[in-house]
Amino acid sequence: MKIKIVTLFPEMFQGFINESIVKRAIDKGNVEIECVDFRKYSHDKHHHVDDTPYGGGAGMVLRCDIIDECLNDIKTDKSHIILMTPQGKTYRQEDANRLSKEEELILVCGHYEGFDERIRDYVDEEISVGDFVLTGGEIPAMAISDSVIRLLDGAIKKESFEEDSFYSGLLEYPQYTRPISYKDCSVPFVLQNGDHEKIRKWRIKEALRKTYLRRPDLLENRNLTKEEKILLDEIISETNK
């Protein structure tokens, strides 16, 4: 996969690209990341990429002609272009799964007060990482890139992300490691006895319990298996005691 990040601040991505799972994925050839500074597409001597808004108002607005020229220069027939904006669709795990199947992503990072409305015509979709506003799209671009890269073949072990929160539609079950007991709080006995079937069932039930208590909205659209329905009924009964 190729990921091209269109940004005014490519230096912000150096730590992101050169650390942890992302770096290993790059080194393995799973992904190629290119940061494109769209300031170089400006045609005035001061390299301006923004201007004052028509109709008045505070702040500066990114120019559509500069973004258009940049995208025309870097996109291919395989590019899927995404605009980072708080007005976009809220990003979810299913979006990460979907985008991980693309051959090339272009992530456009807005900045300043906003962007010329005509820029929307040059992208395939708009994505928001939540109902809040940041100074630019760089952090969301990192978040989306990270969530996609870890799903690529060979980036991490498949079983590592298949049990992640949201991947299966549930929050992840509780995890424990040594010490077995700490400050009067011990690892659940079921995880110590080596009975894999009991462990499997415990993990499903605890994932359901955590989801029911913290994110019940996730259960509304989930087609529960027969086993999950029985376990969820048990959880509801235990909770209401």
Contact 148, 142 (CB under 8 A): no
Which distant-in-sequence residues (6+ apart) come within 8 Å of 232 by Cβ? 208, 212, 219, 224
Contact of 160 with 32, CB cutoff 8 Å = no
Beta-strand relationship, 79-90 and 125-128: parallel
Contacts of 92 (CB under 8 A, 6+ apart): 166
Which of 83, 232, 240, 81 is closest to 169 using CA atoms?
Answer: 232
**149 alpha carbon, distance to own chain's centre:** 10
Maximum distance among all alpha carbons in the chain?
72
Q: Are strands 61-62 and 50-51 parallel, antiparallel or unpaired?
A: antiparallel
Q: What are phi and psi of 190, to 5 degrees?
A: -60, -30
Active site residues: 86, 113, 150, 164
Burial class (CB in 10 A: 0-12, 13-18, 19+), 138: buried
Q: In this structure, what are the phi and psi dihedrals at residue 146, rounded to the nearest 5 degrees? A: -60, -45
